[in-house]
Chains A and B, each alone.
Chain A
Amino acid sequence: MRKSWWKILAALLLIYTFAAGFLIKVPIIGNLKETIRNLFFHVPMWFGQIILLTTSLVYSILYLRKPDLRHDIYASSFAKTGILMGVLGLITGAIWATYTWGEPWSNDPKQIGVAIALLIYFAYLVLRNAITDIDKRAKISAVYNIFAYFIYLPLIMILPRLVESLHPGGKGVEGNPGLNGADLDATMRLVFWPAVIGWTLLGTWITTLNIRIYLIRDKNLLNAK
C-alpha cells in the first residue's frame, strides 16, 4: 500500500480527467469549439514524453558513470514508453487536426518536429537491436541516447518557435492554440494539470512493469556480478 500510493493516484487522476474533461464547461475559441477537450489528452502526452525521455537520459548518464546493466534496462524502458507517448500524441493530434485544420497532416512545423523526434528514437531501438554484445549495447546506446536527446530538445523546443517567428501567421497555421497558456481559463487549468500528472504517472507505471519483466529475464546476468 505504501509503495503503490502513486498508482492509485494515477488511476484517480485519470478517472478525474475523463470525467471532468468531458463534463466541464469549456470556453469556445474560434473553430475549436468542443474539440478543445482534446487538450486534456493530447497535450499531456507531450509533457509525458519529455519527462519520460529526460528520465531515460538520466539513466543513460548514470550508466556511463557506473556501468550497471540495471541502468541500461531503466534507460531503454523509459525511452520505449516515451516513444509510445509520442505515437499516442501524434495520433490524438492528427484526430484533433482533422476537425480543426481540415486534415490530419498539414505539414505544420510542430508536426514535422515530433515526427523527426520519433524517427530519432526509433533509430535508438534499431541501434539497440543491431548490437548483440550486452555490455557493448548498453554503452553504445547510452552514448547515442545522450546525443539524440540534445538534438531532440532543440528540435521540439526551439525550431517550431523559430519558424513561427519567421512566418507570423504566414503559413496559415499558428501552431496549437492549446499550447498558448493564456487561452487556458481557470476551470480548464484545474483539469489540465492533474491530467498531465495522471498521464505521466501512468507512463511511469507502464515503464516499471516493463522494467520488472526485463529484470526477471536478465536475473542471471544481473546477479552474476
Chain B
Amino acid sequence: MTKSILALLKKDLLLELRQQHSLYGILLYVASTIFVLYLSINNPEGEVWNGLFWIIQLFVCVNAVAKSFLQESKGRMLYFYTISGAKEFIIAKLIYNIILMLIMSLLSLGLFFILLKNPLGNTLQFIGIVCLGGISISLVFTLLAAIAAKAQQNAALMAIMGFPLIIPQLLLLIRLSKVAFGEIFREGALLQLSLLIVGLDLMVIALSIILFPFLWKD
C-alpha cells in the first residue's frame, strides 16, 4: 500500500516538474494577485493584512488543487483503477496537494513580506500557523476537487461548494493568527484552537478516505 502511494505521489510530482506550464501558471497567479494588492493598498494594518493573506490562500488553493483531478483523463483514471486502490489514490493526492499548497503558502508569505511589509510580532509563529492553514485548506479542497471533477464541472462549482465549507477553518485560522500580531490569548485558548483545527483536519482526512471510493467507481 505504501509503495503504490509513493509511486502515485512520485508520478504527480514528476508530472508537475515536467509540465512546468501549470506550476508556473499558479506561481504567476500568486505573484500577480499579491502585486495587485500591493498597488491597491499600501502598508495595510495588521488586521487587514491578516484577512487579505488568508483570502489569497483560499484563492490560490482553489486554483492549485482544482486541477489535480481535472487533469486526469477518463482513460488514465481507468488505468489507475487497475493498478491501485481508491484509498491509495486519494492518500497520494492528499499528500501531493499538501506539498503543493505548502510551497504556495510559504511563497505567498514571502511575497507578502516583500511587497506589503511585515506587521507581525512573531514571524516564526505565523509561519507555523501558515503551514497548518495550508494543510487544512488543501485537505478540504482535495475531496471537493474530486467531487467537482466527477460532476464534470469547472472551477465555479468548486468555489460554490468550497467557500462555505472552508469558512469554519478559515475563521479559526484568522483567529489563531492574531496571536502572531501580538494579541494576548487566554490561558490554554491557543492550544485549544490549534487542536480544534488539527481535529477538523483529521476528520476531513478520514471522510476523504471513506467517501472517495464511492466517487471513484462508475
Contact = CB atoms under 8 A, between A and B. Distances in A.
Interface string B161-195: 10111011001100100000000011001001100
A143 B211 contact: yes
Contacts of B161: 123, 126-127, 144
A148 B151 contact: no
A96 B38 CA distance: 43
A147 B158 CA distance: 14
Interface in B188-217: 189, 192-193, 196, 200, 203, 207, 211, 214-215
A140 B189 CA distance: 38
Given A130-B151, A139-B214, A147-B143, A123 B164 contact: yes
A5 interface: no
A111 B211 CA distance: 30
Given A127-B157, A147-B207, A136 B168 contact: no
Interface in A135-191: 136, 139-140, 142-144, 146-148, 150-151, 154-155, 158-159, 162, 165-166
Contacts of B157: 126-127, 130
A155 B168 contact: yes
A120 to B, nearest CB: 4
B95 interface: no
A148 B165 contact: yes
Given A123-B161, A126-B157, A147-B143, A139 B215 contact: yes
A54 B133 CA distance: 29
A153 to B, nearest CB: 10
Contacts of B175: 166
A116 interface: yes
B196 A158 contact: yes
Pick from A136, A140, A147, A162 the residue with the most CB of B within 10 Å: A147
Nearest to B218: A136
B214 A136 contact: no
B164 A119 contact: yes
Contacts of B200: 154
B196 A140 contact: no
Contacts of B144: 147
B147 interface: yes
Contacts of A119: 163-164, 167
Interface string A111-123: 0000010011011
A131 B144 CA distance: 15
B192 A162 contact: yes
A120 B203 CA distance: 17
B160 interface: yes
Interface in B49-101: none
Contacts of B203: 150
Contacts of B22: none
B114 to A, nearest CB: 33
A32 interface: no
Contact of A140 (B150, B164, B172): B150
Nearest to A156: B168
A211 interface: no
B168 A159 contact: yes
B123 interface: no
A55 B161 CA distance: 21
17 contacts: A119-B167, A126-B157, A126-B161, A127-B147, A127-B151, A130-B151, A131-B152, A136-B151, A140-B150, A143-B214, A147-B165, A150-B203, A150-B207, A154-B200, A158-B196, A159-B172, A166-B185
Closest 5 pairs between A and B when the two form their complex, measured CB to CB: A119-B164, A120-B164, A123-B161, A155-B168, A143-B211
Interface of B: 143-144, 147, 150-153, 157, 160-161, 163-165, 167-168, 171-172, 175, 185-186, 189, 192-193, 196, 200, 203, 207, 211, 214-215
